[in-house]
Amino acid sequence: MQDRENRPDWGRATAAIHRGGLDGQIFGEVSVPIFQTSTFAFPSVEAGAARFSGKDPGYVYTRLGNPTVRALEECVAALEQGAAAHAAATGMAAIGAVFLGLLSQGDHVLAGDCLYGPTHMVIKRELPRFGISGDFVDTTNPQLVAEAIRPNTRMVFLETPANPTLSITDLAAIARITRERQIFLAVDNTFATPHLQRPLTLGADLVVHSLTKALNGHSDVLGGMVVVNDAEISKKIKRALNLFGGTMDPHQAWLILRGVRTLALRVEKACANAAKLADFLEKHPRVHWVRYPGLPQHPGHAIARKQMDGFGSMLCFGVKGGLEGSKAFLNRLRLITLAVSLGGVESLIQHPASMTHAGLPREERLAAGIDDEMVRLSVGCEDVEDLMADLDQALWATPAAEEKLLQD
């Protein structure tokens, strides 16, 4: 039977395909099996006691650990160049484990002013119920971050690229600030994926993923992951997931691991499409503005070029005509799917102000750059010419466009 080799010098595509195998094959299987079991038998009382005490690394109960889940964790940890990873039932379960595992009553968390809506709501509305305060700051300006840190600040939590504005934060610069003050730096790397960006190598303490998105890549399963390098942080995250029940099911893990195997192919195709669409939309007369890190005029372009291996598959743009123009455009699309989420092989588009970020007060949305004309596009792997054609016909269907046609 051939032993599977795991080498640290493998390229990202090779690692995505081959990391996360089992320690030993059972029947020579190529795909990791689904260990669909809730509990594991002990060969003896002594063996069971050794597993519960931690002296024996064997499995006890799937909420606490499972071979299929472990395979996924090892794969994602390798891609992020981390020492350990902990899978969660959803991306929000992973984020919840970070907060519950590392923050205590009286602590303060400083977060980016542009975040996934539910993350923002947890920090603003839920953590204060447990005596944990939170503030929001523009993390693209390291000086503002340094000035906003309090004596009781325990964590800086940010996204880069940010959801949905695609703002870029200099991770190395923020890491220098948090390291000097002995504060945790947690980075949601969902938009970039580890194929394009690895925050741990830039100084972050924790990386969070919604595996639902590009790592899975097929819009058919939920999942989350926390990746760390520090053993003590790892224990706290694992304990929070185990005790609060946010761990992953083995069938979830198997589906996501199957998706990770094609990560490089999907991300590179989607990135190429996104770059062409950003250029196309920037020149379109019915588009007010475009934000894509790959555009030279993007404020974070130079930083993205420095810390990323590509500019990603996400972009946002403003449709002329305000809210009514955006609604008319979105309702006219025929190929691109009107739906939240991102990172799938299919292109998805949505209206953040009325959908993913609707829970934020209007003034906070506007301050973060989320206005009514903004639409967020997750670019998929379709033929880019078909995507351009769909965007073009829908843009010319907006009220302002129709008025222009009548005038002409």
**Burial tier of 298 (Cβ tally within 10 Å: 0-12, 13-18, 19+):** buried
Residue 78: helix, strand or coil by DSSP? helix
- Distance between CA atoms of residues 156 and 172, nearest Å: 13
Q: Is 392 part of the annotated catalytic residue set?
A: no
Determine the residue type at 340: V
The β-bridge partners of 337 are: 348
Kind and range of the H or E element at 84?
strand 84-88
Bridging pattern class, strands 337-338 and 348-350: parallel
Contact (Cβ atoms closer than 8 angstroms) between residue 324 and residue 291: no
- Helix ranges (H only) for 34-187 are 45-53, 67-79, 91-102, 117-121, 142-148, 171-180
The one catalytic residue in 4, 63, 258, 332 is 63
CB atoms within 10 A of CB 18: 16
Instruction: Give strand ranges (E) for 170-292.
Output: 184-188, 206-210, 224-228, 287-291
Q: Is 269 part of the annotated catalytic residue set?
A: no
Bridging pattern class, strands 206-210 and 184-188: parallel
The one catalytic residue in 19, 70, 107, 116 is 116
Contact (Cβ atoms closer than 8 angstroms) between residue 190 and residue 198: no
**Burial tier of 31 (Cβ tally within 10 Å: 0-12, 13-18, 19+):** exposed
Q: Is 372 part of the annotated catalytic residue set?
A: no
Q: Is 116 part of the annotated catalytic residue set?
A: yes
How many Å from the N-terminal Cα to the C-terminal Cα in the chain? Answer: 74
* 117-124 long-range contacts, CB within 8 A, separation 24+: 117/352, 117/356, 117/357, 117/358, 117/359, 117/360, 118/92, 118/359, 119/92, 119/95, 119/157, 119/188, 120/357, 120/359, 120/360, 121/359, 121/360, 122/92, 122/95, 122/96, 123/99, 123/157
The one catalytic residue in 19, 70, 198, 213 is 213
The number of C-alpha atoms within 13 Å of 321 and in the hemisphere containing its C-beta is: 22
Which residue is listed with tokens 């094609």? 262
Catalytic residues: 63, 116, 188, 213
